[in-house]
Amino acid sequence: MERTPAPERLTATMRRHPFGVDVALTVAFVLITVVLPGPAYRSPAEAVLFGLLISVPLAWRRKAPIPAAAAMVVVGLLQLVALPDLLLADVAVLPMIYSLAAYAPRWAAQTGLGLGLFGAVLAGLRYYSYGAGDALLATVTTGGIAVVAAWALGNLRRARVQRLAALEERARLLELERDQEMRLAAQTERARIARELHDVVAHSLSVVIAQADGGLYAGRTDPDKATGALEQIAATGRQALTDMRSLLGVLREDGRQEYAPQPDVAAIKELVEDVRTSGLDVDLIEEGLPQPMPAGPQLAAYRIVQESLTNVLKHAGPAGRAWVRLQWRDDALELSVLDDGRGAAAVLSDGQGQGLRGMVERAALHGGRLTAGPRHGGGFGVHAALPYRTAAR
């Protein structure tokens, strides 16, 4: 693991302990402005005492700027009355005004500026009103400029802090949004996997079951037919394995080849053939000229027909016939899968169906729609329309 460079570690520590930093700065400030020059004053003991009193509030300049400033104001007023000298430590007023502007509410910052200017005038009158008026004016002007400069710097600091806070908030919101998007994407992806697995597995198993039933029946009378059924079972099983493998392959990819080796509308012909060999009497009717269509809706069309035929095998009853109709319209491919089985009796019988739900989702995903239900006069019908081009959403 790489070690963080020492200066960065120091900055991070300082950021985590602002009060500690302020205490350390105050101690340094006291050493330089109170302890060292202390003996030079006319009344050293009082100078040190007032110097300390006016400097120590600096330690709270960020933690509690308003009480710290108030304490400083009180000490400053007492000093004006009690001390014959202006102290070096009185410079502490400037960082205090800076801190008020940077860290305290607006009103406190304004009050700090006003009191600072007022203090400069008072100090000038108290300590420099002897001799010429020039000294007084110079002192008050210098003090005033220093006060305004400290206040302005504090304001800059406040703006920076606010900008940083806004940026942090934005980053937090962006992260939240990204998390949500990822969760949503994962959910969509899970639903997609569930649909694919369902359609591939349920279809192959239904075909295998139908063929096995037929083979079982034929076994007693017609061994050739039974062998044919077994061959069909083996072929269906192999196809299912291939489908599963390509599906799992897609899941392992980074998602770009989402529909890469998947079946398309043209493959519906073979699908219908396969189902016919498993014993269901099914016809394919195609109207219109095939149109170019993206891989996504093509796969959806294939899966919708596949699941509808699987449902016919499972639910329509033994004597059923079925029709698959593909109509290439102006802007959409319309699909119908109809049968004349027992349709109406069985609608949503177990309530566990994944198939219909998956079909509706598939159609919606590509900007189309799908309806399914018993037909007037018996049987079951699935109707879907898949636009050639998905409208931009």
Ligand X SMILES: Nc1ncnc2c1ncn2[C@@H]1O[C@H](COP(=O)(O)OP(=O)(O)OP(=O)(O)O)[C@@H](O)[C@H]1O
Neighbours of 239 (CB within 10 A): 16
Contacts of 258 (CB under 8 A, 6+ apart): 250, 295, 296
Interface with Mg ion by CB under 5 A: which residues?
A: 311, 355
Of 16, 359, 387, 35, the C-alpha closest to 202 is 359
Two structure tokens written together for 303: 């899966």
At its nearest, how many Å lie between ligand X and the CB of residue 391? 27
Which listed option, Mg ion, ligand X, none, makes contact with residue 10 (CB within 5 to 8 Å by class)? none
Strand order of the β-sheet with 369-374 is 281-287, 321-328, 332-339, 380-387, 369-374
Q: Rounded to the nearest whole angstrom, what is the least distance from the CB of residue 198 to Mg ion in the complex?
A: 8
* Nearest one of 299, 209, 200 to 244, comparing CA atoms: 200
Q: Which is closer to ligand X, CB of 144 or CB of 374?
A: 374
Q: Which of 291, 354, 360, 367 is in the footprint of ligand X by CB under 6 A?
A: 354
Residue that has been written with the tokens 């980053």 in this structure: 171
Output the smallest distance, CB 304 to ligand X, in A. 11
Q: Minimal distance in Å, beta carbon 353 to Mg ion? A: 6
Q: How many residues bind ligand X (CB under 6 A)?
A: 19
Supply 222's token pair: 């017609």
Give yes or no for residue 202 binding ligand X (CB under 6 A).
yes
Residues between 317 and 346 with contacts to ligand X, criterion CB under 6 A: 339, 341, 343, 346
Closest distance to ligand X from the beta carbon of 197 (Å) = 11
- 315 binding partner (options Mg ion, ligand X, none; Cβ < 5 to 8 Å by kind): ligand X
Q: Which is nearer to Mg ion, 343 or 355 (CB)?
A: 355
Smaller CB separation from ligand X, 170 or 357 = 357
For ligand X, which is the closer residue by CB, 56 or 316?
316
Q: Are 390 and 333 in contact (CB under 8 A)?
A: no
Nearer residue to Mg ion within complex by CB, 94 or 202: 202
How far apart CA 40 and CA 91 sit, in angstroms, is: 17
| Cα distances (angstroms) measured from residue 313 to each of 86, 275, 359 | 103, 9, 17
CA dist 60 → 8, 20, 104, 125 (Å) = 25, 10, 12, 29
Residue 200 touches ligand X, criterion: CB under 6 A: no
Q: How far is the CB of 329 from ligand X (least distance, A)?
A: 24
Token output for 12: 């991070």
Q: Which is nearer to Mg ion, 65 or 355 (CB)?
A: 355
Q: Any contact of residue 311 with ligand X (CB under 6 A)?
A: yes
Question: Is 349 a binder of ligand X (CB under 6 A)?
Answer: yes
Among 87, 299, 316, 363, binds ligand X (CB under 6 A): 316
Contact status: 348 vs ligand X (CB under 6 A): yes
The option from ligand X, Mg ion, none interacting with 8 (CB < 5 to 8 A, set by class) reads: none
Q: 348 contacts which partner out of Mg ion, ligand X, none, CB within 5 to 8 A by kind? A: ligand X
The DSSP output letter for 344 is G
Beta-carbon-side half-sphere exposure of residue 22 (alpha carbons within 13 Å): 20
Q: Is 371 in the site for ligand X (CB under 6 A)?
A: no
Distance (Å) of CA 102 to CA 42, 146, 159, 204: 36, 16, 8, 72
Can you tell me which of 38, 95, 355, 368 binds ligand X, judged by CB under 6 A? 355
Applying CB under 6 A, the residues found at the interface with ligand X are 202, 311-312, 314-316, 339, 341, 343, 346-350, 353-356, 380
